[in-house]
Amino acid sequence: MEEIREIDVPEINVVVNLPEVAIPAAPPVTLQIGVPVIDLPAFDPLDFEPEVQAPKPSAPKAKPEASPVSPPKIKLPKPAAPAATPEPKVETKTLPQQVIEALPTIPQVTTVAASSVIGVTAGLCTPFLLKLVRPIIKKAAKKLQKALGRQPVPEGVSARRALQRSLRG
């Protein structure tokens, strides 16, 4: 048997050129960079202790007596206070009575029913009306064009061929 040869694997020099890591030593929030750009006022809680004492009320000064030249004062009668209006009484109604009062009246019901019937009927009849009205409008348009001296546009293949043959002469 043959001997197994020894396999030589050369060494591979692996050099990884990694970029330099740019991680700062401390997070930027804790660095003392300088004076803040915005100067926010600090919170000052309210002080409930009075700093200034209110002045004490003084005795009222005596009024000088009326001179003989001044006109006499006329005392007007005081208007009587308006009589107190009694509070309105709130009526409590039973449930059947509240339901009966909440129902619409007969004229209201008939108005709403009539308008809804007209709307639904118009919506359902529109395709039928178009089938009826469209041919009438087309005939009227053709007659109007003939009266004005214009030749109407031929409808269908046979009408178009007949028009082309008549134009040849």
* Residue 37 placed within a domain: no
- The answer as to whether 75 is a domain residue is no
Specify if 128 maps to a domain: yes
Q: What percent of the chain has pLDDT over 90?
A: 12
On whether the CB atoms of residues 130 and 124 are closer than 8 A, the answer is no
pLDDT confidence bin for 157, thresholds 50/70/90 = very high
- Does residue 138 fall inside a structural domain? yes
The pLDDT value recorded for residue 25 is 67
Within-domain flag for 31: no
Buried b (16+ CB within 10 A) or exposed e, 31-57: eeeeeeeeeeeeeeeeeeeeeeeeeee
pTM above 0.85, yes or no: no
Residue 102 is assigned to a structural domain of this protein:
yes
| Better-scored residue on pLDDT, 16 or 160 | 160
Return mean pLDDT, the chain: 78
Residue 148 forms part of a structural domain: yes
Give the model confidence (pLDDT) of 83-117 as tens digits: 767 777 777 888 888 888 889 999 999 999 999 99
> Total domain count for the chain?
1
| In a domain? residue 78 | no
Residue range of the domain that includes 163: 95-168
Contact present, 145 and 151 (Cβ < 8 Å):
yes
